[in-house]
Structure 1
Amino acid sequence: MFELIGSEASYLRSLRVAVNHFYASAELKETLSKREHHVLFSNSRVVMAASEKFLMDLEMRLGERVLMSQVGDIVLQNCPEFYRLYVPYVTNMMYQEALVNQLLQQNRDFLSSVKKLENDPVCQRQSLKSFLVLPFQRITRMKLILESILKLTEPGSASILNLEKAIEAIHEIVTECDKGVQNMKQIEELVSLQMLMDFGKVKSVPLVVRGRFLVHHGPMRQLTLEAAHSSRISFISVYLHLFNDLLIISSKKYFLQPAIINHCFSSSKTYSDGMLFHLLYKKNDDPNWLSEHFQFYCVKH
C-alpha cells in the first residue's frame, strides 16, 4: 500500500518539475511556436492535477487508518479521469518525441534553453525527455503495483474485488494507450504514402480513411501472355500495397514514387487468413480495351 503512495508522491514531484520548470519557462516558450509548445507538453498540466487529486485521496485514506486495507476503490474512482487524460497524452508521445529530436537538432535557441533548464539542480541531472515520458511510465507501473498488492492480500478479503476491478481498469487504459499510438503510426504511414503515390490517369483513391491500415507491401512479378493464342509469356515487375480493405498495384516510375497501375477494394467476403479481391483489368490483346472481371486471393503471412 505504501509503495503506491510513495511512488505517486515521487511521480508528482517529477511532474511538477516538468510543468513548473520546463512548461512554465518563458525563455523556453520564446523558442517555440504555439503549436510546438502544445505538442511538446500536451496536457501535462491536467495530468499533474489528476495526480495531485489521486495522491490526496490516498493520503486521506492513510489518515483514516494507518494500516490501509482498501486502495482499489480509490483507484477505481480516479480511473475515468486517468482514462480521459493519459490516453491522449500517450498517443501524442510519438509526435512529442519526433518534435524534441527535431528541435534539438535544428533549433539552437531551444537547445540552449533546454540545456540551461536541465542543468538546474531541481532536475537532478534528468533530461527533458525523461520528464516527458513520465505519464506513460506511471500508468504502466501502477498496474504492476496493484498486482503486487493483490498478491499480498489475504484470500477472502473484502478488498480483493475492488483491487481486481482496479487492475482491469488500469489495464484497459494501458491497452487504449497502445491502440492510440498504433493508430497514429498507421495514419502517419497512410499520409506518407498518399504524398508519394502518383495516380496519373488512374482514378485516385484517398488513402487516409478511418480504420484503414497497411498490411503488407512489396515487389511482385506479373505474368502476361504476349499474344492471345501464344504460349509465350513475359513478366512485368509491379509493386503491391496491401491494405486491410484495399489493394494498390503500381510500378516504380520514379525513385521511390509508385506510379499507380490499378487498384481495387476487397470484397465483402473476408477470411481468417486473407482477403478476396476483385479487380477489373484491361486485356492487352483487345483493341477495344474491354474490361474483364478477375478475382484473386491475398494470403496473409
Structure 2
Amino acid sequence: MANSDAVVCALAQSKMDESNVKANACQTTGRTFGAFGGIAAALRSVANSDSWSLEGVYLHAAPLFALEDTTNKALTSRPDSPAQDCGRDEVERCTDDAQKEEETFQLKFESKYINSSVPLYQDYWLKCMRADLQKVQHKRLANLVMSQCLAGLSSPPASSPISVSSPPGLYVAPYALWQELPEVKRKRLLHSLTASDVRLQEAMFELILSETSYQKSLHVAVGLFQGSAELRNALSPVQNHVLFSNLKEVCRVSEGFLLDLEARLGQNVVMSKIGDVVLSHLSAFRRVYVPYVTNMMYQEALIAKLLQENKKFVMAVKKLEKDPVCQRQTLKSFLVLPFQRITRLRLILENILKRAHEYSTDVTNLKEAIEAVREIVVECDSNVQRMKRTEELVSLEKLVDFGNVKSIPLVISGRHLIRAGALKKLTVKSNHTTGSTVSRTDIYLHLFNDLLLLSHKNGQRFSVQDHAMFPAHVRVEVLNTRMLGLPPEAFLLHLTQNRLKTATAIILAAETRLEKETWVQLLSSKQSIAGV
C-alpha cells in the first residue's frame, strides 16, 4: 500500500497547478473472451459455405408416401473409418477397430410410410430457415400495421375461419402432410377431426417426416463419403476418425428413433402422444450427439488443412460430391447434419406442445423432452467452449516468453482467457523547474479467470514483465485524473503480491473511456470470472 500511496501523492503534489495531459491512443484495443459463439462459432466456416445459400435452392416436391410396391434401397455399406473414441496417438488401434466395424455396420432402414423421394435433410433445414424468416418478417409487418391502426375503429375485425394451412404470405409448401396418408384419406378422418386436431397430427407427423429426411442424408454421409475407399486411402486413420467421428453411431440412433416413431404411427394413424417416444431415446441422443458436436471444432480445422495440403483428399471429395445422391450438396453440409438435427428437434417438439390439448397425458412428456434436448444442446455448447478455450491457451503459450521472470504454466484445467489488449503504462517524473512530465510505454495485459499477465509485445510474441494471481492479488483504483493532470482514460492497477511476492502499483491508460470502464469492471471482480 505504501508504494501505491506514494505514486498517487507524488502525482497530486506535482500536478496541482498544471494543465491536463492528453494520453496517446493505444495501439490495440482489448478483446474480451469468454462469451464465445459456442457451437455457432465452431461451425462458422460451414455456415459460410456455398451449400447454405438461400438463393436458387431447388426443393423437391415429388410424392413422398410409400406405396405397397415401392421400396427404398439403402446405400450399400463400404469399408469404414476408425471406431469411436480413437486417440490421436492410437493409430494401430483405430485401424483394428475400423476393420471390426466394417463387418457389423449396415445401412438397412426402409420407411413404411415415406418413399425414397423424401428430400435430403439439407433441403428440409433450408426450408425451415426460410419459413422462420418469413414468420419474423410477417410479425414485424403485423406489429407495424397494428401500431398505425385508426383510432376510430370501435371493434376489431371479425376473425377468419380456422385453417389448417399457414396464414397467407407465410405458407411454405410442405414436403408431405399427415392428411395425405392413404389411411387418413381412406377413413375420411378430415371430416371427423377438428382443425386443431389436424394441426396436432401434422405437427407430430413433421417429427417423423423430418427424421426420415435426416436418415436419408445420414445414409449418404456414411454410405457414400465415410464408406469411400478412395477417400479413406487419402487420409490417415486418425484423420479419418476426426473427420467422421461417431457418425455411424449417430445414424444407428436415428434409425432406432425413427423405427419407434413409425411404430407409434402404425398403432393408430391418429396419434394420441409422441413425447414418450422421444423421452425413451434421450439417453442415446446424449451419448452420440455430445461427442460428435464437440468434435466438430477439430473436424472443421482438419477440413481446412486437408483442402490446402492434401490433393488426394480434394480430388476424392469433388468426385463424391458429383454423385447424384448428393443432390449438389457438399461434404461439409453432410457433416453438419447432427448439429442441425439436435438443435431443430427442440423447435419441432415445442410446436407439438403448442398444439397439444391442455389435459393431454403427452404434455408432461413433451415438456420433459424439450428440457432434456435443451440440456443436450447446452452440454454440447459448453464442451465446445471449453475445448476452444483450451486450444486458445495452447496457442498463446507458444507465443509467451518469460525470460528472466520465473515461468508459470498457462495451460491448466479450468483456466481461460477473459480479456487481452494493449494499454499505456504512464510514468510521472517531477521537476521543480519544468514541472512534471508523463512518459508512456506500451504494455499488454492478458487477464485470465485466475491470473493476470503484464507483457511487452514484440511482433506476435509477448515478453512477460510481471504477473499476479487474480482476483486475490489484483485490484484497481479509480483516480481523480483531472486533479492529477492525467488523461481521463487512466486508472491505477494494484498488484498486492506480484511475481516477486511484493506489492506494486502502476498507472495504466486505455484508448477510450469505454475501454477503461471495461478493464476496471473486469479487474475489480471479487471472484474468478467464469465468462463474460
Same fold (TM over 0.5): yes
Q: Does 1:137 align with 2:340?
A: yes
Count residues with an aligned counterpart.
Answer: 289
Q: Does 1:35 align with 2:238?
A: yes
Q: How far apart, in 2, do the equivalents of 1:170 and 1:237 lie?
A: 48
1:58 paired residue among 247, 256, 261: 261
Matched residue, 1:285: none
Q: Does 1:182 align with 2:378?
A: no
Alignment check: 8 A CA contact 1:265 1:277 kept = no
How far residue 170 of structure 1 moved from its aligned partner, in angstroms, is 0.5
Matched residue, 2:441: 236
Q: 1:277 to 1:159 in 2, by over 3 A?
A: farther
Matched residue, 1:286: none
How far residue 108 of structure 1 moved from its aligned partner, in angstroms, is 0.8
Q: Which is helix-richer, 1 or 2? A: 1
Alignment check: 8 A CA contact 1:248 1:262 kept = yes
Q: How do residues 61-76 of structure 1 correspond to structure 2 at under 5 angstroms? A: 61-76=264-279
Matched residue, 1:287: none
Matched residue, 1:299: 521
Which AA in structure 1 matches 2:503? H
Q: Does 1:259 align with 2:469?
A: no
Q: 1:247 to 1:152 in 2, by over 3 A?
A: same
Alignment check: 8 A CA contact 2:473 2:498 kept = no
Which AA in structure 2 matches 1:212? R
Unaligned 5+ runs, structure 1: 283-289
2:322 paired residue among 112, 119, 125: 119
Q: 1:277 to 1:65 in 2, by over 3 A?
A: farther
Task: State the secondary structure of the residue aligned to 2:503.
Answer: strand
Q: How far apart, in 2, do the equivalents of 1:277 and 1:81 lie?
A: 51
Q: Does 1:9 align with 2:212?
A: yes
Q: How far apart, in 2, do the equivalents of 1:281 and 1:44 lie?
A: 49
Alignment check: 8 A CA contact 1:212 1:243 kept = yes
What is the root-mean-square deviation in Å for CA atoms of aligned residues? Answer: 2.5
Alignment check: 8 A CA contact 2:474 2:494 kept = no
How far residue 180 of structure 1 moved from its aligned partner, in angstroms, is 1.5
1:247 paired residue among 437, 449, 452: 452
Q: Which is strand-richer, 1 or 2? A: 1
Task: State the secondary structure of the residue aligned to 1:111.
Answer: helix
Alignment check: 8 A CA contact 1:266 1:278 kept = no
Q: How far apart, in 2, do the equivalents of 1:104 and 1:69 lie?
A: 50
Q: How far apart, in 2, do the equivalents of 1:277 and 1:51 lie?
A: 56
Q: How far apart, in 2, do the equivalents of 1:157 and 1:270 lie?
A: 57
Q: 1:279 to 1:223 in 2, by over 3 A?
A: farther
1:97 paired residue among 291, 300, 316: 300
Matched residue, 2:56: none
Q: How far apart, in 1, do the equivalents of 2:377 and 2:501 lie?
A: 49
Q: How far apart, in 2, do the equivalents of 1:244 and 1:65 lie?
A: 56
Matched residue, 2:281: 78
Q: How far apart, in 2, do the equivalents of 1:190 and 1:216 lie?
A: 12
Matched residue, 2:363: 160
Which AA in structure 2 matches 1:208? V
TM-score (norm 1): 0.89
Matched residue, 1:207: 410
Q: How far apart, in 2, do the equivalents of 1:295 and 1:170 lie?
A: 49
Q: How far apart, in 1, do the equivalents of 2:250 and 2:425 lie?
A: 54
Alignment check: 8 A CA contact 1:18 1:132 kept = yes
How far residue 294 of structure 1 moved from its aligned partner, in angstroms, is 3.7
Q: 1:291 to 1:141 in 2, by over 3 A?
A: closer
1:205-260 Cα distance to aligned partner (Å, 9 max, x none): 21112221111111112233558x995553322100011111000001x3110000
Task: State the secondary structure of the residue aligned to 1:206.
Answer: coil
Matched residue, 2:398: 195
Q: 1:154 to 1:112 in 2, by over 3 A?
A: same
Which AA in structure 2 matches 1:255? G
Bigger RCO of structures 1 and 2 (CA < 8 A, at least 6 apart):
2
Q: How far apart, in 1, do the equivalents of 2:284 and 2:494 lie?
A: 44
Instruction: Point out the more displaced range, 157-166 or 93-102.
Output: 93-102
Unaligned 5+ runs, structure 2: 1-203, 476-492, 507-518, 523-531
Alignment check: 8 A CA contact 2:474 2:495 kept = no
Task: State the secondary structure of the residue aligned to 1:157.
Answer: coil
Q: How far apart, in 1, do the equivalents of 2:261 and 2:249 lie?
A: 18
TM-score (norm 2): 0.51
Task: State the secondary structure of the residue aligned to 2:401.
Answer: coil
Q: How far apart, in 2, do the equivalents of 1:126 and 1:21 lie?
A: 12
Give the % identical residues. 54
Q: How far apart, in 2, do the equivalents of 1:100 and 1:69 lie?
A: 45
How far residue 175 of structure 1 moved from its aligned partner, in angstroms, is 1.1
